[in-house]
Each structure stands twice: as C-alpha cells, then as structure tokens.
Structure 1
Amino acid sequence: MKKGPKISEAEWEIMKVVWSKKMCTSSQIIEVIENNTEWKPKTVKTLISRLVGKNVLGYKEEGRKYIYYPLMEESECIKDANQSFLSRVYDGAIKKMLVSFIKESNLSKDDIEELKRILDERK
C-alpha cells in the first residue's frame, strides 16, 4: 500500500477547513482558523505552503488569488494516519489496539452493540 505524506497536527487543522469547503482562498482558511486558534495569518500561510509541497493541497490562480483544494480525500489521510499510529504505538497489531481502547473507554450499551454488529458482519 502506498503511504501518503505525514501530516502534522497543525496541518490537519488546515485540511479540515479545506475538506469542509472543497475550494477556498487562504483568507477563508485564515478566517476559520483564527476563530479556533491563536495562530497568526503568516503561520496559516506557512502551513498551507507545506501542504502544497507535500502534494496534499493543490491550487489554481484566479487573478491575484490562489484557490486551494484537496488533492487527497479525507478518508485517504485518515487511513494513512491510522496505519501510522497502529505501526508506531501497537507494532501493527490491531487486536492490541482494539483491546486497549475498549478496556480504557466508557462504552455505552449502544456502542457495545454496534461493535458486536460490526464484528459479526466481518465473520
């Protein structure tokens, strides 16, 4: 399986905005990010540049504006992040991870039933 680029926690915040908007300018990204963080516009622009460099974000020029759009689907990035986490923390053993999460979480009865249903479907 081809691994996608590693996306930092800060870059994820930028990507969440772009995925939700589909296409947007840096000003639109900055507006959303400024409501949720204390990042300066220059920081946001630096993160956007990194994502363009990693081929996660693309852009097109419209006059003096750059319109950014995702080059990777959110689901692809989540899958890559999951695989990376699983490899780093649990040596790739999904059973160890699931057992750990289940033991450490306060699962509702509905959560448990849904997990059982999913596991039964996988048989």
Structure 2
Amino acid sequence: MQTISEAEWEVMRVIWARKQLKSSDIIDILQEKFQWSPSTIKTLLGRLVDKKLVGTQKSGRAFLYESLVNEKDYQEKLIQDGLNHICQRKHASLLLKILKAMPMTKQDIADFQELLREKEVSTVGKVPCNCIPGQCRCDKEESHR
C-alpha cells in the first residue's frame, strides 16, 4: 500500500467526499481550513497521481481528479498494516483505548455488541504472540494489558 502524508490525506478526503472535481474546487475547499497555496495543493495532487491513488480525466480545458482507490478499503488496509506492526496480544487493549475515546451512537454500540456476540463463539484461550523473538516481552509478561 502506498503511504501518504498528512497533507495528502486531506486532499484524498476531499476527493473521496466529492468523487470527481477540478483542482480549483479542491483548492477552494482546502483553503478554507489550511493556508496552502494553489501550487502546494497541485503538488499534492501530482504526488497522489504519481502514487496511482488519484486519476485524472480531461474535461474541456480542465482536469477532473478522481480517486482510484476505495476510501473504506484504503482505511481498512491502513489499519491492518498498522496492527501488523503491533503484537497481537496488544490489539484488544489498543482497541479498547480507541473505543473509550471515540464518540458513538446507540446504533454503533449495538453493532459492536452484535459483533462481540458473533466473536464469542470463536474465542481463543490465549492470543498468540506474532512477534519475532526479542521484539516484545511476551515471555516475561502473562499478558500485555
């Protein structure tokens, strides 16, 4: 997966939200929040095109920019890639911290409860460590919580 900078993320969020738009539209939207020059935003767009995350299509004298990657798929891949760098035994406690800090609706909570009921049938006695020996302290600690 191509990694992208914080600034490139901001550009991608605009493109994902609007599907297909001109650079001038992207510039107008981003300049409401950031003090970026039009040339900076065009540079970011160029990088995203080079990374094959954004495509262009000629429309008259302008170019239309559109995402070549699905937002949800990209976000899920990013999260999975991040989790791959963390001992599996720490995943649950990390997720709990994220959930505590996250605003949720009653429906969000109901969805989590349903998922937990489904997961309950396939629980394990102990989450296996997926680290290379020497990368964590699994052998020294009972759990990472």
Q: Is TM more than 0.5 here?
A: yes
Percent sequence identity over matched residues? Answer: 32
Residue of structure 1 in register with 2:101 after alignment: 105
1:54 deviates by 0.6
Stretches of structure 2 lacking an aligned partner (at least 5 in a row): 122-145
Structure 1 unaligned blocks of 5 or more: none
Query: Whose radius of gyration is greater, 1 or 2?
Result: 2
Give the Å deviation of 1:121: 3.0
- The TM-score with structure 1 as length reference comes to 0.80
Partner residue, 1:18: 15
8 Å CA contact 1:86–1:97 kept in 2: the answer is no
Separation (CA, whole Å) in 1 of partners of 2:67 and 2:105 = 37
> TM-score normalised to the size of structure 2?
0.69
Q: Which whole-Å CA distance do the structure 1 matches of 2:19 and 2:109 have between them?
A: 35
Counterpart residue number, 1:8: 5
Greater share of helix residues, 1 or 2? Answer: 1
Aligned residues: 118
Alignment map for 1:49-64 (pairs within 5 Å): 49-64=46-61
Q: Superposed, which structure 2 residues align to 1:24-103 within 5 Å?
A: 24-88=21-85, 90-92=86-88, 93-102=90-99
1:30-60 per-residue CA deviation (whole Å, 9 max, x = no partner) reads 0000001111111111110000001000001
Report how far residue 99 of structure 1 moved. 3.4
Alpha-carbon contact 1:25-1:67 (below 8 Å) kept: yes
Q: 1:10 to 1:94 in 2, by over 3 A?
A: same
For the residues of structure 1 that align with 2:44 and 2:9, how far apart are their CA atoms? 10
Distance in 2 of aligned mates of 1:9 and 1:73: 18
Q: Distance in 2 between matches of 1:17 and 1:108?
A: 24
Task: Say what the alpha-carbon RMSD is for the aligned residues.
Answer: 2.4
- 2:84 counterpart SS class: helix
Alpha-carbon distance in 1 for matches of 2:110, 2:81:
28
Specify whether residues 114 and 30 from structure 1 end up closer, same or farther in structure 2 by C-alpha distance, changes over 3 A only: same
- 1:98 deviates by 1.6
Note closer, same or farther for the CA distance 1:115–1:41 as it changes in structure 2 (3 Å cut): same
